[in-house]
């Protein structure tokens, strides 16, 4: 009986230790600024409930006139408030309690019961506040967070707005391991590893405390492999003590992408036999080496970095990426053969690195975009000088134990040796184990030379004797499902810099587009490997393999991302940057399979992929179509309608032989590709011609959603013909309805020009695909998703038939299938009283509206609508306009001018009118190459009595140049141009027009036109 009592007593001694719990659920939120919202008695009864992570921008409407503009994706920003009541449990009495924020964008200010805890301007950093003195003696307190993302553009890409990453509450005793207070450094010594642990112990009590520290290292299996226990030591009152045990780990399992072995250190702080704190930290044992001649070594093995750059947003879910979706996206790139990702151009929430550690993805961890202004209202312009040291220090201390992180990156396309030297010094002080680089900063302080797009130049060599990494290359553009046989160079072909990529056919054979007329760059880029800046994927892969000095590279990018829409595509309705090998709805493009064919081992997981599809409704029969086959096999064979078109050996030593290529005369039917290894058939793929769309197929990646409002399912809809063959041009609207536990959080399709809000349960398909994102419910239960669509060719190019289809799929539990029936009517003004039962496809007029009513178990559950006629893909070759990329004046940073919509003939939403005042207009134009000559073309109007008005042009740091704007016939209708020639610098270029002693002309836009 005494023994039992002793055991219970021992358990009680360690029952509190450290507690960490999520603070994510049931916040109150409202957009706008509300004086007094930080106070406890503020009335928030009409605010909405939200869960964290939360991004209010992605929940809004795309708007051409939004202050965020093309750089940040035309989505709403502004100010938002969050409030949540915190109940104080009795077990926290006498404890230290802090609130942790993994990420808030941006300029957050946190309050407790109206008292300010602190302010953090940087939107991509984790931070915490001690709330201990504010909760003592209280049963509950009010936590309020003000988030200010008003000043725009806040970056060169979409940022999101709000508390986009997890929140936590951490309660400890007065003596505890400090936050980010453990540093693990491992070094291989023969068959063992020496592991050094630096443990910072903090005491917030007013008296010193004598304690002991126990530390135990556990292997990936969970078995203890090393232990240490200190002699008693004194932690001073309101002070710190550092304990640094060393461990010898025999025959360690090394962390690598192939074997991501995770060790754990468990730390206990004891006062006598009482456990004051228990702290665990994951780490990995591995070595890295960078060599100027031989490249990168991991665990002594020379390997090429096969990397991808990634922005934070997950398309329809914005910056508030659920853990489940984040892991799915990272696994997608790893399954493609990628072994590393670059956090371009800012840190990620902690869960990102935890996933990379666990699944085996190396990371180039990047802290800043610029060390000065790169967008009008970004961190570099507003906050860097004051906050860089704090943010850099917190970032390093937070991330340094992750084995996945192989190198630090301090910036991107930015300059300044003096500040670089200071930052590198801090990196070495806080982490002596990793090298430091940056993307195209040209700083002599960087230990690894990082270069962006210039690496792609066909004649490029390492300009230094330092180790070299391609930080942002290769750049190619692709729109899923779009094909062109004519090579597209973003800035034109430049001999000696760009790879000469032959056209696939003498004349273009694909004649469909998003509109009937557009500029050269405002196109749907080709899914062949022929749409680029300087180099294509295959040639750059060959260059990488042949260049020992080239450690590898990080392609721009893994996924399409919102924002930066003006840079290439010219802005609205383009809302994103389509450089990804995966679109923003997580649908892989053909380039995904190209990388998979080059980066994976066919002997382990053979694959073969055919492009293009085999549905060409307007193409003349017999037209020779370039058919490409991507495969990681030795040999590929192609068939068309059963006819053997021959086999081809794949040769990775020649870029134009890395895939199979045939010219196949077009005829409807099927094409089949087979992959062979050592003469044995190991894989195949068949693509068949589809007739008009008539059905939908519904699939999900998760049919067992777990309760708790954290799990997610992606439900993808494919449009097919009546026989189930994928219809690759499908653009009919898909309607979703969820029955049971859960919520439809967003919908998307990957379209670069779809400007509908994602916060709705229907979506127009793009190139045959659409997707719904479903979050699990608070409680467990059955969940069934229903999808419905009115199908047919929008422009009726081969068929005037309309069909209606309904599909359903289980997302959790075992729900009974719904008995569905459909009624329909034709006509814009038709109502349900005009409806008749649907049985089979029916003919529709050339231009019309079709409506459908979907019943499930006798109850009306969905109303659908589809238009036919003059909308959708244009089935002709678009007329190319000879103009460049536009930067609207109203989206610039301006002073002294006012926005106006009077008159006509301008583009965008309006223009800037100085209206008798003086002032300035400033644009920021980014380029990844540098040195290219362009015309800066200013579009203006104004009828001055003196026949002209002078303005100053300030280009980067150059001296001002006077420009004489000749009068036009009218201030508001007669728009003319004036142009000047300039060479763009690498990275951000500041272009400023300033009045010169009098008011300026009305300015519509800046056009940047490549000189060909």
| Catalytic center residues | 413
**Token pair for 426:** 């801090």
Taking the CA atoms of residue 891, residue 897, residue 898 and residue 903 in that order, the dihedral angle to the nearest 10 degrees is -90
End-to-end Cα distance, the chain: 92
Residue pair 54/163 in contact (Cβ under 8 Å)? The answer is yes
CA atoms of 960 and 581, how far apart (whole Å)? 42
Residue pair 975/968 in contact (Cβ under 8 Å)? The answer is yes
Residue 29 parent element (H or E): strand 27-31
CA atoms of 389 and 400, how far apart (whole Å)? 16
Residue pair 579/567 in contact (Cβ under 8 Å)? The answer is no
Cα Rg for the chain, rounded, in angstroms?
Answer: 30
CA atoms of 46 and 38, how far apart (whole Å)? 16
**Token pair for 826:** 């034709």
Count Cβ atoms below 10 Å from residue 860 Cβ, excluding itself: 12
CA atoms of 856 and 739, how far apart (whole Å)? 10
C-alpha separations of 279 from 19, 95, 200, 683 in Å: 10, 16, 12, 49
* Tokens 């990102």 -> residue: 352
Give, as one character, the DSSP assignment of residue 475: B
3-state DSSP call for residue 158?
A: coil
List 82's β-bridge partners, or say none.
Answer: 29, 145
Residue pair 920/993 in contact (Cβ under 8 Å)? The answer is yes
One-letter-per-residue 3-state SS of 422-453: HHHHHHHHHCCCCEEEEECCCCCCCCCEEECH
Q: Which of 312, 310, 287 is nearest to 300 (CA)?
A: 287
Q: Which of 553, 501, 543 is nearest to 526 (CA)?
A: 501
One-letter-per-residue 3-state SS of 239-302: EEEEECCEEEEECCCCCCCCCCCCEEEEEEEEECCEEEEEEEEEECCCCEEEECCCEEEECCEE
CA atoms of 521 and 517, how far apart (whole Å)? 12
How far is residue 618 CA from its own chain's centroid? 36
* DSSP notation for 83-135: EEEEE--GGGTT-EEEEEES--BS-EEEEETTEEEEEE--TT--EEEE-HHHH
CA atoms of 583 and 315, how far apart (whole Å)? 8
Residue 83, phi-psi category: left (phi > 0), alpha (psi -120 to 50), beta (remainder): beta
CA atoms of 21 and 24, how far apart (whole Å)? 9
* Tokens 């239960």 -> residue: 781
CA atoms of 311 and 329, how far apart (whole Å)? 12
Count Cβ atoms below 10 Å from residue 445 Cβ, excluding itself: 18
CA atoms of 591 and 630, how far apart (whole Å)? 9
Residue pair 922/952 in contact (Cβ under 8 Å)? The answer is no
Q: Which of 444, 446, 426 is nearest to 436 (CA)?
A: 446
Computed from CA positions of residues 756, 761, 762, 767, in that sequence, does the dihedral angle turn out positive or negative? Answer: positive
3-state DSSP call for residue 745?
A: strand
CA atoms of 801 and 377, how far apart (whole Å)? 52
């Amino acid at each position: 009986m005494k023994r039992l009592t002793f055991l219970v007593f021992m358990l009680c001694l360690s029952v509190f230790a450290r507690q960490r719990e999520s603070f994510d659920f049931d916040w109150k939120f409202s957009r706008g600024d509300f004086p007094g919202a930080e106070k406890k008695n503020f009335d928030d009864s009409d605010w909405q409930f939200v869960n964290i992570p939360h991004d209010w921008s992605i929940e809004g409407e795309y708007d051409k006139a939004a202050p965020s503009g093309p750089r940040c994706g035309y989505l709403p920003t502004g100010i938002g408030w969050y409030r949540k009541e915190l109940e104080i449990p009795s077990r926290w009495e006498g404890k230290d309690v802090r609130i942790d924020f993994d990420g808030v964008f941006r300029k957050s200010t946190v309050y407790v019961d109206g008292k300010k805890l602190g302010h953090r301007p940087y939107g991509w950093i984790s931070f915490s506040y001690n709330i201990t003195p504010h909760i003592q003696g209280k049963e509950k307190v009010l936590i309020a967070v003000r988030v200010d993302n008003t000043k725009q553009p806040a970056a060169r890409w979409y940022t999101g707005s709000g508390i986009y990453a997890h929140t936590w509450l951490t309660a400890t005793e007065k003596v505890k391991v400090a936050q980010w207070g453990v540093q693990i450094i491992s070094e291989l010594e023969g068959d063992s590893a020496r592991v050094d642990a630096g443990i910072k112990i903090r005491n917030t009590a007013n008296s010193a405390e004598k304690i002991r520290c126990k530390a135990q290292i556990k292997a990936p299996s969970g078995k203890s492999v090393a232990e240490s226990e200190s002699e008693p030591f004194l932690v001073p009152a309101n002070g710190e003590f550092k304990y640094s045990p060393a461990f010898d780990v025999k025959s360690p399992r090394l962390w690598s992408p192939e074997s991501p072995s995770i060790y754990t250190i468990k730390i206990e702080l004891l006062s006598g036999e009482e456990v004051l704190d228990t702290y665990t930290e994951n780490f990995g044992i591995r070595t890295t080496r960078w060599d100027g001649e031989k490249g990168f070594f991991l665990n002594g093995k020379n390997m090429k970095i096969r990397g991808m750059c990634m922005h934070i947003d997950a398309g329809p879910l914005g910056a508030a990426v659920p853990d489940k979706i984040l892991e799915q996206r990272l696994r997608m790139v790893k399954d493609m053969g990628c072994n590393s990702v670059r956090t371009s151009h800012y840190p990620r929430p902690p869960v990102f690195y935890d996933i990379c550690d666990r699944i085996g993805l190396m990371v180039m961890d990047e802290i800043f975009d610029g060390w000065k202004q790169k967008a009008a209202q970004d961190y570099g312009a507003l906050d860097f000088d004051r906050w860089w040291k704090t943010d850099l220090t917190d970032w390093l201390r937070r991330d340094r134990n992750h084995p996945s992180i192989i190198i630090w990156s301090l910036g991107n396309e930015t300059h300044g040796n003096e500040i670089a030297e200071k930052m590198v010094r801090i990196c070495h002080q806080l982490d002596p184990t990793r090298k430091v680089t940056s993307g195209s900063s040209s700083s002599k302080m960087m230990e690894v030379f990082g270069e962006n797009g210039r690496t792609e130049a066909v004649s490029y060599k390492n300009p230094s004797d330092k180790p070299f990494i391609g930080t942002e290359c290769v750049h190619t553009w692709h729109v899923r499902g779009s094909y062109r046989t004519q090579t597209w160079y973003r800035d034109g072909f430049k001999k000696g810099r760009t790879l000469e990529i032959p056209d696939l056919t003498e004349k273009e054979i694909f004649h469909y587009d998003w509109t009937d007329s557009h500029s050269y760059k405002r196109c749907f880029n080709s899914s062949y490997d022929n749409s680029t800046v300087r180099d294509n994927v295959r040639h750059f892969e060959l260059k990488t393999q042949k260049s020992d000095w080239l450690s590898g590279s990080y392609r721009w990018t893994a996924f399409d991302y919102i924002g930066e829409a003006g840079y290439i595509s010219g802005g609205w309705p383009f809302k994103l940057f389509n450089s990804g090998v995966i679109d923003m709805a997580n649908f892989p493009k053909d380039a995904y399979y190209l990388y998979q064919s080059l980066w994976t081992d066919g002997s382990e997981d053979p694959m073969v992929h055919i492009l293009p599809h085999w549905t060409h409704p307007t193409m003349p029969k017999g037209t020779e179509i370039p058919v490409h086959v991507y495969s990681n096999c030795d040999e590929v064979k192609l068939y068309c309608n059963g006819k053997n078109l021959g086999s081809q050996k794949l040769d990775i030593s020649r870029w134009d032989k890395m895939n199979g290529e045939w010219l196949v005369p077009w005829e409807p039917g099927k094409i089949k590709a087979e992959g062979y290894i050592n003469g044995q058939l190991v894989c195949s793929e068949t693509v068949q011609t589809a007739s008009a769309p008539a059905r939908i197929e519904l699939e999900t990646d998760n049919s067992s959603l777990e309760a708790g409002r954290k799990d997610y399912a992606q439900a993808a809809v494919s449009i097919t013909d009546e026989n189930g063959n994928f219809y690759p041009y499908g653009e009919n609207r898909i309607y979703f309805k969820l029955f049971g536990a859960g919520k439809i959080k967003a919908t998307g399709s990957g379209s670069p020009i779809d400007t509908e809000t994602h916060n709705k349960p229907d979506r127009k398909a793009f190139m045959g695909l659409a997707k719904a994102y479903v979050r699990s419910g608070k409680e467990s239960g059955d969940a069934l998703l229903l999808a419905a669509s009115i199908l047919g060719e929008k422009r009726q190019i081969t068929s005037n038939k309309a069909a209606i289809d309904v599909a359903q799929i289980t997302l959790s539990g075992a729900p009974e299938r719904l008995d569905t029936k459909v009624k329909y009517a034709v006509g814009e003004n038709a109502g349900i009283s005009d409806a008749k039962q649907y049985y089979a496809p029916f003919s529709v007029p050339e231009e019309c509206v079709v409506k459908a009513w979907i019943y499930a178990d006798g109850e009306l559950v969905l109303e659908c609508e589809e238009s036919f006629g003059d909308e959708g893909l244009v089935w002709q070759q678009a007329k190319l306009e000879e103009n460049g990329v536009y930067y609207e004046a109203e989206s610039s940073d301006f002073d002294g001018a006012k926005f106006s919509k009077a008159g006509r003939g301008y583009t965008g939403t309006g223009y800037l009118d100085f209206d008798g005042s003086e002032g300035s207009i400033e644009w920021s134009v980014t380029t990844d190459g540098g040195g290219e000559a362009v015309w800066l073309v200013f579009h203006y109007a104004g009828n001055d009595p003196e026949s002209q008005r002078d303005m100053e042009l300030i280009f980067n740091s150059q001296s001002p140049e006077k420009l004489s704007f000749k009068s036009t016939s009218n201030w508001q209708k007669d728009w003319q141009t004036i142009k000047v020639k300039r060479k763009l610098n690498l990275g951000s270029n500041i272009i400023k027009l300033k009045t010169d002693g009098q008011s300026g002309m009305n300015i519509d836009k800046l056009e940047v036109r490549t000189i060909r």
